[in-house]
Structure 1
Amino acid sequence: MKISACVIAKNEAENLPRWLASMRVFADEMIVVDTGSTDATVETARAGGAEVYHFDWINDFAAAKNFALDRASGDWVVFTDADEYFTDETASRVRSLVEAHDAEKQIDGFIVRLVNIDMETGALLGTTAQVQRIFRRLPHLRFVGSIHEHVENLSGDPARTMLYAEELVLYHTGYSPQIMRQKSERDLELLLARRASGHRDKMDAYHLMDCYYTLEDYEKAAAYAREAMALPEQPVGGEERPHTVLLQSLILMSAADAEIDAAYAAALGRFPETADFPMIYGTYAWERGYLAAAQRAYAAGTRLHEVHYRPGDLSGVFAPLAYERLGAAAELCGEKEAAAAFYIRSLRTQKRHLTSLKALLRLLAETGAEAADVVVALNELYDEQADAGLLAQALADTPFPLAALYYEKRGGAKFSVRRRLLLTGDVCAAAASLIEDRERTAAVAAAHMEAFSPEDQGRIALLLPRSCRDLSAAPEDMRMRRRIARLSGERI
């Protein structure tokens, strides 16, 4: 059994090394079809062991991908985009999965979970999809659609199927706002041109919905979301997307509360185990001041999140905020112990959620906790060494200055001498340090006054102490003039 890894690429020299490394784990051959690159895409692909072919771009993604399929020789094809790659953990599972089902001829391929991540930080962005990326190389499996192309079974045999391979996770890095906006502008232009020529696709509503949502035309996004929801045939793994876009679009366009409530109820009724919808609605209700409704929605969302969360789900982005606001609501009801528990859950979800950390520290201060108690509590949530810098800064402006100094000694970032003096309570020494710094700055300015323009000299003179402007026999003034003289190279 042979596996071909395929990709079409244009100016993807930056992404290709990661793609090649991921595909090399399981692929017997790698096919790169270049559609007109002006960077080092071709050279990078060849250096990485791929076979490179050229395809003259004709504004048709399906045509380019089918061209790649025709150059492949494998029994199975893994066809991803250049900015997609399997996680290290799951790349090694691809071959074993395909081999396990190779003899089941009614299975045409596999749907995998795609997770969008921040290319710079590697952070999960809270958006996922289920996509067809692995399939048999057979004549009836071809790409369809000039844009938003997808694999279709052209045999007409309904018994043939694609399995969902939950154990495989594909990372997608091309999801930064600027990249997505450029892609949406390009796709919308192609979509509208194709529809104007009389060619329409059954999935157009989905694609137009996403384009308009990315381009922040929420009225049109909502309209196409409703059209997509009404389609008799839904794309595998994309059934929730129209409900998400509709709810978020209505909120962002400040639609009437009743319309938002109806969209939320419909989404929750259709997908009762999806945490994203109550999380989205809870955020809307909180920001509108509907605190009771927000509390109910956040409570429902966090329960679903705890049971059904998968890495990359949107609920993972909302969860720290949801727990924090449930904590704030508990405080409003005088339930401080429950509030502290919510803040801790928020920090367990995202330890850098500083609003929850500050709230937890405030509650600890109200209970009369000592610095040692705070350190013990925080060490259960954080790594004492790796997170020391974060904790030192967070504690610096709290009633626990000694705890701040404790973590400062364990972290790489250090407080200034004056900040450390203030944290130890030595206010007099800190004030003396401040005066010394001001005098030093004044002396440097006075010593080099001639280097400044007349206008700047006038401004500086206003800021200098009297000892730098007037003759005086006072000891402190004489000391300042001697300092100025040393800095300017003169003798007094």
Structure 2
Amino acid sequence: MQRAMNRTIALAMIVRNEAARLADCLNSVKGQVDEIVIVDTGSTDHTVDVARQYTDKVMFYAWDNDFAAARNFALEQTNSAWILSLDADEQLDVRGGDLRDLAGQKEKEAFCLPLQTGEVDDNCQYDRFMVLRFFRNTYRFRGAIHEQIIVGDVAALGFAANPVIRHAAIPARERRMRRGRNIALLQKAINKEPDNPFLIYYYGVDWLGLGRLEKATACFERVLGCLTDEHTLFRAPALRYLIDCYKLQGELDKAICLCMDESMRYGEYSDLFFEGGVLFELKGEYQMAVKWFNEALRHDEPPAVFHHTKGTESYLSLHHLGCCLEQLGAFKQARECYLRALAANKRYIHPLHQLIHMDLSRQSAASVWEDLWKGGYLTDSLSAASAAESFWEAGLPDLAYACLIQAGADVSAALIKYGVYSGRQGEALASLEQLRSRTPVLSVALAVDEIVALLMAENLKQAKARAWDLWKRPAGRNAAWAMLHVTHMLEKGSLGGIPEPHRQKEVTEVLITVLENCWHSRVEDSQLQASLTDIMTQIMRILLLQPQPTLLLTACLQDKADRLRQQIRYNFESARGVWV
């Protein structure tokens, strides 16, 4: 009985205006805690109502700009042996391990748990930080801001691989407000403890989050100079943040020197070698980048105490390695890297674009599509959508459409666009009606695609009606103006008017977008192709009537010519035997 008592767990939280997120957090700890204590520090929304659906221990604390004091007040209301501390924008993932297993380790007083931030869905891409959030109910928080639990005995502190805390994204405006609040509180704390490296570290993190790179750089340079390997939990992320600061300020050489120096200290830190590889890649020094990415691939995921970006030891380095090898003309090796990256994580779909691009330069488009199907890339909606976009960019909308159909994709804007420009007018218009039954107001881009489909089918009356419907929406008036005048040109052979000066640029951009979509088309039906050619002709006539549209069109054509030259050069090099 005594052993069971020693493993009781309380979730202790402080919250304010978290009604939208609190339920997800509390649902995530079901079955993991015996007690929930929630302290509200001044909510003006329905946070308290949500909290009371999960616990009767909802308390109130008058906010005094002291996070430790508020959290410690919450701890005093608990009766359990262990404390789990979470914020409302976090969720506990226990699929890999249980809190009670940790609580049963008698020699440990506290545990750091992995905190994952970023794109954590489906194990795609995220950053991992270790945070001390699970501890015996004898410890108390210290620090008015970025409060911490301090464990004096290093042997009593454990690092657990599971369970995992997943941090949910919050709106940018709210993030900025939090950082502004934190900076004000941190400045007061630093005034009292000017040499506290942990306060300076958090000060740098918040300045970096606000984009104040000079201030963040000064903080991280100072922190890196005074923290030792006993504080790797803070020193490793400070190192990577400082590399980011240098990189974002264009000081690539300074960042590279830092990577070289620190690689002597952390010789098995895959993230550090990945960072170095990216820096050399940005400088165009691909041979050096290859060496650093290969070094990153030699190492496993770093120990838990290190800040880690998932994939630096595998698919991220493989992807970048492939890009560098491609730049060096080693196409076969580059392709192998892309395949290995996709095999390591099929949810990381970025290498798929390069793979398709390479394969289209050496074999038929139909063969490339079939290889993707055989490789299983068209059974998953995410990879199928990426493959579809690649085929679209290559001017193969029919194969883009086939990718989504093969994956069993639901009706979407992309499916309709690919259908329109591959000559599947009937299917596209039917899909539009199906979508309209669920979403009465289509996006402006989708409404334009519908009008193009009707024009290709020579249904000018219906196209004009849809354009007028679009005109009724303030956000759609520029697109409506553009499509009404395309319709008028097709019907009357003359321009119905010139857009007002304040909307001319936006109207021109709509017309150029439609023109570019038409250039991506591949239509077998001769009548539809004739209609499409007529649409492009009339758009060109409209664009050439005024100086500003003509200049924008010229820039668009120049960009398209440059991309075409690059593609021809790429294909020609491969055809001459560079593919070895």
- Aligned counterpart, 1:223: 218
CA distance in 2, matches of 1:339, 1:398: 20
- Aligned counterpart, 1:80: 86
Gapped runs of 5+ residues in structure 2?
A: 410-414, 426-451, 473-480, 496-580
Q: Which residue, 441, 463, 469 being the options, matches 2:489?
A: 463
- Aligned counterpart, 2:238: 242
Q: Which residue, 16, 34, 47 being the options, matches 1:10?
A: 16
SS in 2 for 1:237: helix
Q: Which residue, 178, 181, 184 being the options, matches 2:179?
A: 184
SS in 2 for 1:78: strand
Equivalence map 1:84-483=2 (5 Å):
84-90=90-96, 93-99=98-104, 101-102=105-106, 104=107, 107-117=108-118, 126-138=126-138, 141-153=139-151, 158=153, 161-174=156-169, 177-196=172-191, 201-232=196-227, 235=231, 237-255=233-251, 257=253, 259-304=254-299, 308=302, 313-316=308-311, 322-349=317-344, 351=346, 356-368=351-363, 371-372=366-367, 374-384=369-379, 386=381, 387-396=383-392, 398=394, 404=400, 406-410=402-406, 411-412=408-409, 413=415, 415-416=418-419, 419-420=422-423, 437=456, 439-441=458-460, 463-466=489-492
Shift of 1:59: 0.2
- Aligned counterpart, 2:529: none
Contact 1:62–1:143 (CA<8 Å) still a contact in 2? yes
Contact 2:122–2:347 (CA<8 Å) still a contact in 1? no
SS in 2 for 1:239: helix
- Report the RMSD for the aligned CA atoms in angstroms: 3.9
Shift of 1:312: 9.3
Shift of 1:339: 1.8
CA distance in 2, matches of 1:309, 1:372: 43
Shift of 1:292: 2.2
1:178/1:163 CA distance change after superposition, 3 Å: same
1:378/1:19 CA distance change after superposition, 3 Å: same
Contact 1:31–1:68 (CA<8 Å) still a contact in 2? yes
CA distance in 2, matches of 1:251, 1:389: 32
CA distance in 2, matches of 1:290, 1:12: 48
Q: Give aligned-pair identity as a percent.
A: 23
Q: Which of the pair is proportionally richer in helix? A: 2
Deviations 1:277-321 (A, max 9, x none): 2222322222222222222222223443x6559999425379656
Letter in 2 for 1:43: D
1:272/1:333 CA distance change after superposition, 3 Å: same
Letter in 2 for 1:28: D
- Aligned counterpart, 1:39: 45
SS in 1 for 2:235: coil
Contact 2:273–2:293 (CA<8 Å) still a contact in 1? yes
Shift of 1:145: 0.3
1:292/1:309 CA distance change after superposition, 3 Å: farther
Shift of 1:383: 4.6
1:338/1:47 CA distance change after superposition, 3 Å: same
Shift of 1:158: 3.9
Letter in 2 for 1:382: Y
Contact 1:442–1:464 (CA<8 Å) still a contact in 2? no
SS in 2 for 1:89: coil
CA distance in 2, matches of 1:399, 1:44: 51
Shift of 1:417: 5.5
Letter in 1 for 2:391: L
Letter in 2 for 1:237: L
Deviations 1:237-278 (A, max 9, x none): 223011111111111122262x22221113322222222222
Deviations 1:342-388 (A, max 9, x none): 12233335657666334323433344357356423443242536454
CA distance in 2, matches of 1:312, 1:380: 34
**How many residue pairs end up in the alignment?**
441
Q: Which residue, 59, 62, 68 being the options, matches 1:62?
A: 68
CA distance in 1, matches of 2:90, 2:464: 57
Letter in 1 for 2:456: D
TM-score, scaled relative to structure 1: 0.77
Shift of 1:407: 3.4
Q: Which of the pair is proportionally richer in strand? A: 1
Deviations 1:110-132 (A, max 9, x none): 1111111459x687663221111
Deviations 1:405-459 (A, max 9, x none): 653542333542651469xxxxxxxxxx98963743278759x99x99xxx8x96
Residues 459-468 or 335-344, more deviating? 459-468
Letter in 2 for 1:132: L
SS in 2 for 1:58: coil
Residues 30-39 or 384-393, more deviating? 384-393
TM-score, scaled relative to structure 2: 0.66
Contact 1:279–1:315 (CA<8 Å) still a contact in 2? no
Contact 2:463–2:487 (CA<8 Å) still a contact in 1? no
Contact 1:375–1:403 (CA<8 Å) still a contact in 2? no
Gapped runs of 5+ residues in structure 1?
A: 423-432, 470-492
Deviations 1:76-126 (A, max 9, x none): 111222222211414x61112212x14x3xx2111111111459x687663
